Chain A
């Protein structure tokens, strides 16, 4: 009986220490709320027909109104640290090409993606959340208006317009059998001095094979990629 009581007390003590962290906001802070869409999780093939539900890779960053990159806010860890498992040297340049080109930092192999040796240091890196996520942004020396952009992408979300068997050189080639499938989608919102709330609008998709930083406004060829996120809401406190 004494043993059982000690056991219960130990459990309660341990779990009482599990405080829930919360972000606190003050006037001028910007709350970025990412609400997950119907296709936030996507089946990624493993082996023997088994699949794993993978969340997307994404980046959020700030630009000025002329389209010049200012600062990264958040990038998922696989992109930020070349943290892919069993990628056989494939750096997956098609994952978030628009952010890569806007950021414009060239690494030792000529690609614009951070490497294992030189991971991203300008911004927060984290595991991709499986649920809604909130990020607090406090502008410092940042004159309004400015633009917040976000880019999201799933691997292997092929559709009829971006098939698995597209050949290198084709306009819809997205990296081959383990490539992107549908290209990354890009959202943006401009923050003006009097903005209190804003929603990032879907403004286009990135280069399917990641070879350029061009933004394509035609979204007709995209299907499930358009519902990776439900909404990205900004609230200026």
Chain B
């Protein structure tokens, strides 16, 4: 589980090909649209490469693709995004099954949406743009099954 000020994600990770590579599937909620409530949905898939590891520490580089679905009273929009970053994991406990995670990086996702309104006197329409917050920093907890 990863938590930041604008997103909460739950993910499942497993090794891929060999011990150095891993893949992750995650889903979560976010508050990045204009109503600032945790009522947006996000999901994605990522792959990572363990660049450094000791029995207790691990540093990985990762890249993800995903979608962010922003929904509020004024508009709803689904934005695909890409993400690249670094993850530090510190394992603790006798068996090292528990982990403290810090993740940071850059993400890009942007999409236009149309809004329209009609009254007795006028029809109004405009284009808005939703951008996923470009920088992310989150902390989290992981459990190794």
Q: Which of A's residues lie within 8 Å of B, judged by CB?
A: 3, 7, 10-11, 14-15, 17-23, 62, 70-71, 73-74, 77, 81, 83, 85, 119, 122-127, 129, 133-142
Contact in complex: A141, B121 (CB < 8 Å): yes
Q: Tell me, yes or no, whether B95 is within 8 Å of chain A by CB.
A: no
Number of interface residues of B (CB under 8 A): 35
Q: How far is the CA of A70 from the CA of B73 in the complex (A)?
A: 24
Among B113, B124, B129, contact of A135 (Cβ-Cβ < 8 Å): B124
Contact in complex: B75, A126 (CB < 8 Å): yes
Contact in complex: A18, B115 (CB < 8 Å): no
Which residues does chain A contribute within 8 Å of B80, judged by CB atoms? 14-15, 17-18
Number of A-B contacts (CB under 8 A): 101
Among B35, B73, B82, B124, contact of A136 (Cβ-Cβ < 8 Å): B124
Contact in complex: A124, B122 (CB < 8 Å): no
Taking the nearest CB of chain A, how far is it from the CB of B26, in angstroms? 15
Q: How far is the CA of A81 from the CA of B35 in the complex (A)?
A: 9
Identify 19 new A-B residue pairs, CB closer than 8 A, beyond the known A14-B65, A126-B128, A127-B128.
A3-B16, A14-B67, A14-B80, A15-B82, A18-B111, A21-B113, A21-B127, A73-B124, A74-B126, A77-B35, A119-B73, A124-B116, A124-B126, A126-B75, A127-B33, A129-B129, A134-B127, A135-B126, A139-B122
Which residues does chain B contribute within 8 Å of A122, judged by CB atoms? 119
Which residues does chain B contribute within 8 Å of A126, judged by CB atoms? 34, 74-75, 115, 126, 128
Contact in complex: B126, A23 (CB < 8 Å): yes
